[in-house]
Amino acid sequence: MNLHAEAVPAERGGTADGEGVAVLEARLAADLEALNHPPANWVPPTLHPAGAVADVVVVGAGMCGLAAAFGLIRRGIRNIRILDRAARGREGPWVTHARMETLRSPKELVGPASGLGSLTFRQWHLAQFGRAAWDGLYRIPRPMWMDYLVWFRRVLGLPVENGVGVTAITPVDGLLRLALEGTAEAPEPFVLCRKLVLATGRSGLGKATIPGFVAGLPRSLWAHSEDEIDFRALAGKRVAVVGAGASAMDNAGEALEHGAAEVRLLIRRKTMPRINKLMGIGSAGFNAGFPMLPEEWRWRFMHYAAQ
């Protein structure tokens, strides 16, 4: 199967045995109507002399940001804003610095569908390509997952503001003041909110870790895995990859596929990790009970899984 050939826009019609996205969207609309979605906003407005106050601002419009926003709206919290510094359709890593051919997760996972079968990737794929294509799909092609998220955002009418980044968060009079910048047309300098959801992905946990030994090297000779890399320029060259995590493997494979003469992965461990420990704690029971565990045990679980 040609994985890249399947990554078609979400609005394309169905196949001979697929029902088509329009039919799926009609079914989803009926499901949402039956659930009285969207409920009326019940949160009283907050007033401030400096301007309007959002009840919640979601920073990041990738998979988690969209799911969080939809969850808020389903609960009658509609005075929200969703901000993402990326252009529309380029939120998250899927068509930027992610370089694996497919998602590593099983295709059957329900993802951000919030309990609605008509909103799952499975039904979106079936509507376009039919049962035979779904049965023959081993893993979800990475660009196709981005297509699905674009559809998810559109079909739910989520109010994402692209080209807007948050540069600082400051407490003001019991609220949060978010300083804004970006490429959006005339973005305001700041926004006030009562609550903040940071859905900024793994890169939002802090800046990239750059080893000190590359500090004196020309920038043209090294790159971080989240940089835009011209892999064609590595043809015939010897490449070293520092690390052996998922992004290290993806970038090493990409370099070899573009003709690198040799790629070496350098790791500090005596042996390469072969077990994804997080897979063992992904059950519904663990997720339900984890918040009720003593703080010490929550730390022990996550520390073990990260090693």
Q: Residue 283: pLDDT band by 50, 70, 90 thresholds? A: confident
Tokens of 66: 């969209």
Domain 4-205: CATH superfamily is: FAD/NAD(P)-binding domain (3.50.50.60)
Among the four given CATH numbers 3.50.50.60, 3.30.830.10, 3.40.50.20, 3.90.550.10, the one describing domain 212-266: 3.50.50.60
Please tell me the pTM assigned to this model: 0.85
Cβ–Cβ under 8 Å, residues 90 and 96: yes
Instruction: Read off the pLDDT band of 19 (50, 70, 90).
Output: low
Helices within the chain (DSSP H only) = 21-34, 63-74, 121-136, 142-156, 246-257, 284-289, 295-306
Structure tokens at 252: 């090493």
pLDDT per residue over 131-165, tens digit each?
A: 999 999 999 999 999 999 999 999 999 999 999 99
Residue range 208-224: average pLDDT?
A: 88
Exposed/middle/buried for 191, CB within 10 Å: 0-12, 13-18, 19+?
Answer: buried
Residue 286 reports pLDDT greater than 90? no
Nearest CA to 87 out of 7, 158, 161 is that of 161
Q: Provide the pLDDT confidence category of residue 186 given band limits of 50, 70 and 90.
A: low
- CB within 8 A of 219, min separation 6: which ones? none
Average confidence (pLDDT) over 70-82: 96
Which segment of 6-10, 139-143, 266-270, 298-302 scores lowest on mean pLDDT?
6-10
Predicted local confidence at residue 210, as pLDDT: 85
What is the per-residue pLDDT for 57? 98
What does the pLDDT read at residue 16? 39
Domains of the chain, residue spans = 4-205, 212-266, 277-306
Find the mean pLDDT for residues 227-243: 94
Residues of the chain with pLDDT > 90: what percent?
70
* Residue 140 pLDDT: 97
153 compared with 185, residue with greater pLDDT: 153
Indicate whether 14 pLDDT > 90: no
Q: Do domains 4-205 and 212-266 have the same CATH topology?
A: yes
* pLDDT tops 70 at residue 18: no
12 pLDDT exceeds 70?
A: no
What mean pLDDT do residues 87-111 have?
92
